[in-house]
Structure 1
Amino acid sequence: MKYKTMQPVLAAELPNGKNWVYEVKYDGFRCLVKWENDNVELISRNGKSLTKQFPEVVEFFHDHSELLEDYLPLVLDGELTVLNTLYQSDFYTLQTRSRMSNKARIQQQGEQRPAHFLAFDIVEWKGKKLTSPYISRKKQLEQLFRLMDLPLAIQFSIPLGFVEAIKRKSEIQQRVSDHLAEGMVAKLTSALYEEGRNEKWKKVKNWRTVTGIVTGYHQQNAYFELSVYDNNDSLLPIGKCKHGLNQNDKETLIKAVKEKGIKRGDYYQVPPAICMDIHCLGFHGNEWREPVFTDFRLDVSPDDCTISQLDWQLGMPPDEVSYTNLDKHLYPELELSKAELISYLRRIYPYMKTFLDDRKLTVIRYPDGINKEAFFQKNLPAYAPEIFVKNEEGSQFISHAAQLAWFGNQAAIEYHVPFQKQNSDYPVEIVFDLDPPDENGFHLAVQAAKHLYTIFQELQAYAFVKTSGGKGLQVYLPLPDKSLSYEQTSRFTEVIANTLVDYQPDLFTTERLKKNRKERLYVDHVQHAPGKTIIAPYSPRGNAAASVSTPLYWEELDSLEDPKIFTIRNTFQRLREKGCPFRTMEEMKKLQPIENIKRWL
């Protein structure tokens, strides 16, 4: 590879001015794609080949080589990523894949957590290096995507994505904040592509700031070890850091460590007294992502540096909200506090956002915990802060992470949404609610969902399934905008529900009165109507398990026995391992075969 990448310089703030544009910075591997007629190479910034580890990306380029043979060879610059959301990526999953050599494992990971190459620049076109300014190269990149008939966007179903250049600084800042993205890059529109670090590109990191106790010092490699107190009041090591301090502060810290610490070989064990703030991009397996010391915290007691505080800080709770009574246990049996609920809501918002945007919201609040009185809230209270855009009818909406965090601070645990967007009379989805007679009847919901899946396969329709967070399942058919009216979806859901009942009348029913259901599963098609609501994907539920309404892969149904095993405390581990099963829903709705569905009306 004859090109080296152009690198942004680190900055504290984004520059202003009409000559700057802004891009989301993804946490992945900086990568050049060398694309020739008979060969495709993925080359890291350090010159390492990544071609064998990411075959799904390489195959995509190969599949389009014939289409672009008149324009090859090309060299694209971008980020190789594994996406969590359209603006948030998973560095650790990507890193694990890059170290694999077994083809079967690589193939399995590619199917479970597929990689994406997100292109933000083009360096070579028709074998010639481009010497034009950034704004012209970006237009050349747009032309390439149009030649390939690809959207100028990022989609989960397409391994090649286009990184948008945004003109408004406030827009990029909000997007990065909402999605807990790695950061932002500002680019001068007149910048030529020049190798090495360059002031014409500036990156700003979306730092998480955490506080820890200095409990050790490794003299040989100059690493300081930090800890917090766990739930048993024992010190828990949380990682190491060496960068960020100026020379005077570093010498002061080393002196204090040597005076107060106990030396064991090359290592000083330090009693808990010195607290410090660290910037990082994340925390995984007792390792920080790019840790940097920022300040001594003389105002903080070591006793305040706890695992709960660490979790709170890593979640980046929005500053716009005034938080209260964070230690209150909303789930008493689990000792799950309001702080833990808010942290969950903050982290899950990037996954929930699509299902909350522009929908009137109904919440269920539990001000004194799930064992005490709860109430529904459909209208925004008059005392709601200015982070909300208030409307005449008083409806409440969530469009930013801070708004969801505020509802969490109000002890709103459940989030219910209608089937249509604001100012629209058309549903954006069809949902079948499969309600077993009791906790022991979940197998009936599984059977019903699998029957629905078979029907929808015959229709060539795209269907998705999730737990209700209670005892049942919910099956989704996403719809293109204004493709079916409620009258049409009502007829369709009734026909499908009756088909299900006719198939196994001893197991399924559409009888609304519980006393007449006779231990059968209720296929609720009446609920899909204007003004009705459904629990939002990833919403917590107000039950003793702290369960979550969790999107599933269809192949998981056969082995799933208890829908409440997915909770506030384990949902993120599941997302890291499996990704979001609903990630392609927005893309699939545009491909939904509406004419096939209409044949059932």
Structure 2
Amino acid sequence: MAKNTQKFGLPVDFEPMEAKSSAELPAEEGWQYEPKWDGFRCLAFKDGDAVDLRAKSGKPLGRYFPEVLALLGDLPIGSMVVDGELVIEIEGKLSFEAMQMRLHPAESRVRKLSASTPAKLVLFDILFSPDGVSQVNTPLKTRRAKLEAVISPFQRTESLVLSPYTTDYTLARAWLSQAGNGGIDGVVCKRLDGTYEPGVRAMIKVKRLRTADCVVGGFRYESKSKEVGSLLLGLYNAGGELDHVGFTSTIADADRAALTERLEARREAPGFTGKAPGGPSRWSTGRSGNWEPVKPDLVVEVRFDHVTGRRFRHGTKLMRWRPDKKPAQCTYEQIEGASMQDPTS
């Protein structure tokens, strides 16, 4: 159901506005707070019955979510471009694992999953409205009213909803305190008077658990083993170079063999184009200092505690792989101010 990029109100390679991490919610007036959903960010392009879904990375998502393509295609709306999040609920909780299972090469498998665990599209912004007008340069407060006018008549609890929002700081803190455990992932903060800035980290995100999306630029083998022992993590600096910023070794034993094979197939120098790994740190004295560079096309989300000198102070915890994220989006901006304490702890 995808269509030529020029037939939609905006090109399908239009970049979504992004967020930078913060340890605290902004408390002054002029902010709108929204739940941060634990799914795949999605820009949805519609022109009649033609629909295209794009991930934050710019990759097409429609093939993996045919039920959402059909839903949007059937809406009696001529054209629109909306911003939101694809999520899947299982037993009342959001399941990122179920989202990842959709990224399967077999169409028959995707169709089966779309019937057994259908996805829901949660919308929070509109970039092109059915009246044929771009809303990109319109303030958020006006965009939200426009989104509600367009989508409210067609909301369906199980498949298409508007994200709640508030301007109440106290309520936003309550949302943040309840984040995690299969619910929302945190809180996103947006300026009410702000325009939509494609590709810019103009929003603020606050999570109970501090995480960052990192590029895998290399790996080390386990000591006295030919299986992967740790992943070497990188973030892109302002010059576009990939700097080594730390490692994660929390790899399940059952996953090591397959992961080793996957990484070895991606061996490619230099791995890191900026600061490269040195020998083993004092946190991993039993591991060889040798490391293997890989093609920087894999993204992982890791949990960390402190950042010192623009590096993770200790080893990180591997949370999950992020095939929906573009490596170039893994920048230092994510961890600015990350040495601050979590206000909800």
TM-score, normalised via structure 1 length: 0.36
Contact 2:179-2:208 within 8 A present in 1 as well: no
Q: How far, CA to CA, are the matches of 1:33 and 1:183 in structure 2?
A: 23
The reply to whether residue 83 of structure 1 matches residue 89 of structure 2 is: yes
The corresponding residue for 1:142 is: 148
SS of residue in 2 equivalent to 1:170:
helix
- How many pairs align? 243
Structure 2 counterparts to residues 153-232 of structure 1, below 5 A: 155=157, 157=158, 159-180=159-180, 181-199=184-202, 201-207=203-209, 224-226=247-249
The residue type equivalent to 1:205 in the other structure is: K
Q: How far, CA to CA, are the matches of 2:46 and 2:233 in structure 1?
A: 45
The corresponding residue for 2:31 is: 20
The residue type equivalent to 1:290 in the other structure is: V
The corresponding residue for 2:125 is: 121
The corresponding residue for 1:463 is: none
Output one character per residue of 1:228-286: Cα deviation in whole Å (capped at 9) or x when no partner: 9x9xxx9x99x9xxxxxxx9xx98x944258x43538548xxxxxxxxxxxxxxxxxxx
Q: How far, CA to CA, are the matches of 1:121 and 1:89 in structure 2?
A: 21
Contact 1:220-1:266 within 8 A present in 2 as well: no
Match of 2:288 among 258, 263, 266: 263
Output one character per residue of 1:478-510: Cα deviation in whole Å (capped at 9) or x when no partner: xxxxxxxxxxxxxxxxxxxxxxxxxxxxxxxxx
Q: How far, CA to CA, are the matches of 1:205 and 1:141 in structure 2?
A: 26
The corresponding residue for 2:304 is: 292
Unaligned runs of 5+ in 1: 240-246, 268-286, 297-309, 311-601
**Taking structure 1 as reference, are residues 38 and 290 closer, same or farther at Cα in structure 2, changes over 3 Å only?**
same
**Taking structure 1 as reference, are residues 293 and 60 closer, same or farther at Cα in structure 2, changes over 3 Å only?**
same
Contact 1:80-1:118 within 8 A present in 2 as well: yes
TM-score, normalised via structure 2 length: 0.60
Contact 2:210-2:304 within 8 A present in 1 as well: no
- Please tell me whether Structure 1 or Structure 2 has the larger radius of gyration of its CA atoms: 1
Q: Kindly report the root-mean-square deviation, in angstroms, between the aligned alpha carbons of the 2 structures.
A: 3.7
Contact 1:25-1:185 within 8 A present in 2 as well: yes
Q: Which has the higher contact order (CA 8 A, sep 6+)?
A: 2
Structure 2 counterparts to residues 395-474 of structure 1, below 5 A: none
**Taking structure 1 as reference, are residues 171 and 261 closer, same or farther at Cα in structure 2, changes over 3 Å only?**
same
Match of 2:54 among 29, 34, 43: 43
Identity %: 25
Match of 1:101 among 86, 100, 105: 105
Unaligned runs of 5+ in 2: 6-10, 212-221, 224-228, 235-243, 260-274, 293-298, 309-316, 318-345
Match of 1:52 among 58, 63, 67: 63
Q: How far, CA to CA, are the matches of 1:41 and 1:219 in structure 2?
A: 35
**Taking structure 1 as reference, are residues 261 and 146 closer, same or farther at Cα in structure 2, changes over 3 Å only?**
closer
Structure 2 counterparts to residues 376-391 of structure 1, below 5 A: none
SS of residue in 1 equivalent to 2:62:
coil
Q: How far, CA to CA, are the matches of 1:265 and 1:9 in structure 2?
A: 33
Contact 1:122-1:137 within 8 A present in 2 as well: yes
Q: How many angstroms does 1:142 deviate by?
A: 0.7
Q: How many angstroms does 1:120 deviate by?
A: 0.3
The residue type equivalent to 1:187 in the other structure is: K
Q: How many angstroms does 1:85 deviate by?
A: 7.1
**Taking structure 1 as reference, are residues 58 and 135 closer, same or farther at Cα in structure 2, changes over 3 Å only?**
same
Match of 1:62 among 31, 55, 73: 73
Q: How many angstroms does 1:4 deviate by?
A: 1.8
